[in-house]
Amino acid sequence: MAQSDPEPAPAAQPGNTPAADPKAELNGKTEAADEAKPAEPELTPEEKARRMVRTFLWTSGWLTILTAAFLLSDIIQSNRSFGAVGWLSVVLTYLCVLALVAGYFACALNQATLRTRLLGRFDLFQLSTVLIVVAVVFGLLIPTSHNAVLALLLPWALTYWMYGLDRPKAPAA
C-alpha cells in the first residue's frame, strides 16, 4: 500500500519558480555550477581554422604511427624469408615513416608549418611528399601484404588538402 505524504509540499512563491528564473535551473544545472565555469571566449573563424588544422596534423601523425604498427605486424607475422632487399626496404620505410611523424607532430606543435622552407626552395610538405613516395616504393618491396604501406597515403592526403587550403595570397595588381 502506498502511503501519502503527511506534510504537503510548501507552496512555491511566484518569484522563485524555475519558469520565472530561467538561469536558476537549466537541464539540471544550477546557477552556481554555471558561475563556476569560466566563459569561453568566442573563437574567430581564423582561430577555428587553425585549431582544425592542428587537429588534422595530430591525426595524420597518429594515423602514420598506427600504419607503421600494422606494417610491423605484417612483417612479424610473415612466413616468408626476407632477403637483403626486403630488410633494406623495411629500414628505409621506417626511417621515412619516422621523419613523416616528426614533421606532422612539429606542425601540430606549432614548431613548423607545411610551408616552412627546409632545403633551399623546398618546403616541409614537398619533402614529406618525397618521403611518402620513398616509403611507399620501398614498402611495396617488402614481401608482405601491401595494404599497410598504401595506408600511408591517407595521412599524406590530409596534409595535401591542408597545404592547398593555406595558399599564399597573390599580390593585388
User: What pLDDT sits at residue 166?
Assistant: 67
pLDDT exceeds 70 at position 143? yes
Q: How many CA atoms lie within 13 A of 109 on its CB side?
A: 8
| 139 contacts 146 by C-beta, under 8 angstroms | yes
- Torsional class of 87: left (φ above 0), alpha (ψ -120 to 50), beta (otherwise): alpha
Q: Read off the pTM.
A: 0.68
Query: Of 154, 142, 21, nearest to 86 (Cα)?
Result: 142
User: What pLDDT sits at residue 64?
Assistant: 92
| pLDDT tens readout for residues 31-86 | 555 555 666 678 787 788 788 888 888 999 999 999 999 999 988 888 778 888 88
